Amino acid sequence: MENKQPGKWYFKTSNLIIAFLCVGPLALPLLWFNPRFSKQSKIIITILVIILTYYLGIALVNSLKSISQYYREIYQPVF
């Protein structure tokens, strides 16, 4: 009879995906400590997460600029 021990809960792929969705690139250490992924997979996923984070950061800055401009137009005094 094989006594296979279950893996750690933080090494489960579903928990890793949830971590990436919640904290983004801060979950990369969980990926790198995970023994289930090969080094090539870890590098590819890391690059994808960094690129996605970069573009989401640009989208955030652009949306904040747009909102700021919108509020300036709304609260501009009318004479």
C-alpha–C-alpha distance, residues 71 and 49, integer Å: 32
The CA-atom distances, in angstroms, between 27 and each of 2, 18, 39, 51 are 33, 9, 16, 15
Question: Which residues neighbour 49 within 8 Å (Cβ) at sequence distance 6 or greater?
Answer: 20, 24, 25, 28
The residue-averaged pLDDT of 35-50 equals: 95
- pLDDT band at 75; cut points 50, 70, 90: confident
The residue-averaged pLDDT of 2-8 equals: 67
**pLDDT of 61 over the 90 cut:** yes
